C-alpha cells in the first residue's frame, strides 16, 4: 500500500479489475474479478471523485490532479490535495486503483 505522500507523487491507474460507468455525471465503479462482478459493493464517486477518477491515466500524480481540481472547482490547492489523497486512498484500499509502476511490472 502506498502512503499519503506517495498518493501525491505516484501516478495511479484504474485497476484492470474495475468496470467504470458514467451515470448522470458521476462514476459507478464495480469490481470485476474472474469475469464475474463482485457485488459486495459498488463504489459511487461524486462530482469531485469523478473528476479525480477521470484523470487516473498513469502519468498524472496526485499533485497534478489537485492542481486541475483547483482550476475546475475553484478551491485552494491544500484542500484539493487533501481531497485527492482521501479519494485515492479509498480507491487503493478497495483495489479500484493501483500505482502505475505496478502495471509496468506485469
Q: How far is CA 98 from CA 52, 71, 76, 81, 90, in A?
A: 14, 25, 26, 18, 11
- Looking at residue 40, its pLDDT comes to 67
pTM of the model: 0.84
Looking at residues 4-29, what average pLDDT do you find?
89
- Grid coordinates of 94: 478497495
- Mean pLDDT across the stretch 33-37? 56
Residue 39 has pLDDT above 60, yes or no: no
pLDDT digits (tens, 9 = 90+) for 57-94: 999 999 999 999 999 999 999 999 999 999 999 999 88
pLDDT at 17 over 90: no
Complete domains list, the chain, with CATH: 4-98 (3.90.930.60)
Burial 48-82 (b: 16+ CB within 10 A, else e): bbbbbbebbeeebbbeebbebbeeeeebeeeebbe
Amino acid at each position: 500500500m502506498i502512503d499519503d505522500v506517495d498518493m501525491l507523487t505516484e501516478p495511479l491507474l484504474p485497476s484492470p479489475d474495475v468496470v467504470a460507468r458514467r451515470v448522470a455525471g458521476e462514476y459507478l465503479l464495480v469490481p470485476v474479478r474472474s469475469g464475474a462482478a463482485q457485488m459486495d459493493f459498488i463504489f459511487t464517486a461524486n462530482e469531485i471523485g469523478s473528476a479525480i477518477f477521470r484523470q487516473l491515466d498513469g502519468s498524472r500524480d496526485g499533485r497534478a490532479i489537485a492542481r486541475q481540481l483547483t482550476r475546475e472547482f475553484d478551491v485552494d490547492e491544500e484542500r484539493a490535495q487533501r481531497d485527492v489523497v482521501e479519494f485515492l486512498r479509498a480507491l487503493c484500499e478497495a483495489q479500484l486503483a493501483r500505482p502505475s509502476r505496478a502495471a509496468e511490472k506485469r
